[in-house]
Amino acid sequence: MSNNMSIEAIRQLAVAPLDMPDVEIERTKSVAGAPSAAINAGSIVGFSADISEQEQEDVLYSLQLAQRAASAATSRYTAVQDWYKEYVRVLEMTGWVMTGFNLNAQKVDQSEIEVAKAALEILAAAVTGPQSVVLLAAITAMKSMAKDDGFITLFEHFGAQGRVGNFQMSDVQKAPDEAGTLFIVTGAFQIEMAERQEKFLFFKWHRKGVSVWGDAVRSTFNRTHYATIREAVRERLGKEGRKAIAGLPLQF
């Protein structure tokens, strides 16, 4: 596909509008040379310290475009398999190189389950190099927040509806090569709850109270390709795209 065709495909992509919750969040700004993490609609994304501000925006916007395009195509909560097919298709359009994704690859079957911990374990299984501590720090920060904290409200507004959750976690690192290749381990997860709980990621579920499915894949992000469509993605998301992104406060 030529660059012009890629740009046109992005411009013609149907994108669901943002139905933002009424919350105020003290958004943490990323600092050059420091690790960072963000809520991005229904996903949590961690970045190693060597990821530039532009690279962070590119990854976050591509992930948000995939979420909103998938939600325009089908229901995030009642047609999860179809939703993820479109999600992956749009990521590939924006320069993600990923193979072997299968949402039902792993089902968590434990007597007691914390969803966040189970998701991190699935992510860890896909890591072939050093495991980042950034995503863990992001999860730890969220776990310490009150149930009505703006970050929790933002994430749960986009990541769950009723008793069904559909959310993602991504860990972004840069390879120590001349090209500065971006490696992304991204996990996709679906949960079904017997009853809706606030802070569902951290609630101590018993096996009959929740079912968790997920998969994680290791991807690369083609920055050269994305640069050719960056403006088209920004245009498609509109000014509201930034509203669904909130930098998390991290402590190490």
Contact between 141 and 251 under an 8 Å Cβ cutoff? The reply is yes
CA 214 – CA 109 distance, rounded (Å) = 12
Interstrand relation of 164-174 and 43-47 (parallel, antiparallel or unpaired): parallel
The single-letter DSSP state of residue 181 is P
Q: What pLDDT, on a 0 to 100 scale, did the predictor assign at position 69?
A: 98
Q: Is 70 exceeded by the pLDDT of residue 3?
A: no
Which range among 53-62, 171-180, 217-226 shows the weakest confidence by mean pLDDT?
171-180
Q: What pLDDT, on a 0 to 100 scale, did the predictor assign at position 14?
A: 97
In the chain, the percentage of residues whose pLDDT exceeds 70 is: 96
Q: What is the pLDDT of residues 44-75, one digit of tens each?
A: 999 999 999 999 999 999 999 999 999 999 99
In the chain, the percentage of residues whose pLDDT exceeds 90 is: 77
Q: Hey, CA dihedral for 160, 98, 94, 228, is it positive or negative? A: positive
Contact between 22 and 242 under an 8 Å Cβ cutoff? The reply is no
Q: Hey, CA dihedral for 161, 237, 189, 104, is it positive or negative? A: positive
Q: What pLDDT, on a 0 to 100 scale, did the predictor assign at position 130?
A: 67
CA 211 – CA 110 distance, rounded (Å) = 10
Helix count (H) and strand count (E) of the chain?
7, 11
Q: Is 80 exceeded by the pLDDT of residue 85?
A: yes
Q: Name the average pLDDT for the chain.
A: 91
Q: What pLDDT, on a 0 to 100 scale, did the predictor assign at position 132?
A: 76
pLDDT band per the 50, 70, 90 thresholds, residue 18: very high
**CATH level 3 topology of 40-241:** Delta-endotoxin CytB (3.40.198)
Of the candidates 215, 237, 239, the one whose C-alpha atom is nearest the C-alpha of residue 94 is 237
Q: What is the pLDDT of residues 134-151, one digit of tens each?
A: 999 999 999 999 999 999
